Amino acid sequence: MTVSGCEQMHASIGWGFLVTRRSAEWEGLEDMLGLALDHCRPMQFRTGRQFLLCEGTRMESFQWTHSVDAISVEGETLKFQNLLTAADTTGYCGEQTRPQKARIDRIDSRDLNGDGRQDLAIAASFGGMAESKRRQDLCEAAHDGKPGAQPMQPKIMKTYRIEYLFDGERFKLTKASEPAALAFHGEN
């Protein structure tokens, strides 16, 4: 189950909870920030057992992240396979190694290799920029609400296609998608 709006700090993001019913009472087993079931779709393992393919968003220290995860239950805990995380750090005004803006643009689930299983194709964009005092000052001005002030954004956003094949048990990144996935994995 998921809930949102109950906590001041994360009111717009939502929490996902794994619950079970024991002795006629509901018991919470595990929770996850940024999981909203309306951004999940059910899929099936080869065995017929279901799992969820979910998009999640969260903000931590002015860094927005958007992720795609395969989520299943193993015993009494949630098991995650992170497929992609796109981070936007342009709203964080402190010094960074490489400020970036990354986003997940589209997620398609279809058979990519003709084996009859639903695979995954993710279109995602990424842009980086050099760190500078000017970038930090513009970011601070935007946070202070100065008229017309906006955090700096990358001048170029490159779009990537990242594909995962599903073998009935887990998603496997295709060899051709490894360089693109590395662009996103390098900083988050």
Query: What do you get for the CA distance between the two ends of the chain, in Å?
Result: 27
pLDDT tens-digit map of 107-144 = 999 999 999 999 999 999 999 999 999 999 999 999 89
pLDDT tens-digit map of 159-179 = 999 999 999 999 999 999 999
In the chain, domain spans = 2-185
Q: Do the beta carbons of residue 17 and residue 26 sit within 8 Å?
A: no
Whole-number pLDDT of residue 40 = 84
Tell me the average pLDDT across 97-105: 94
**Amino acid letter for position 112:** L
pTM: 0.80
* Percentage above 90 pLDDT, the chain: 55
For residue 88, the number of C-alpha atoms closer than 13 Å in the C-beta half-sphere is 18
Backbone angles phi, psi at 112, to 5 degrees: -95, -20
Question: Which of 52, 71, 68, 79 minimizes the C-alpha distance to 181?
Answer: 68
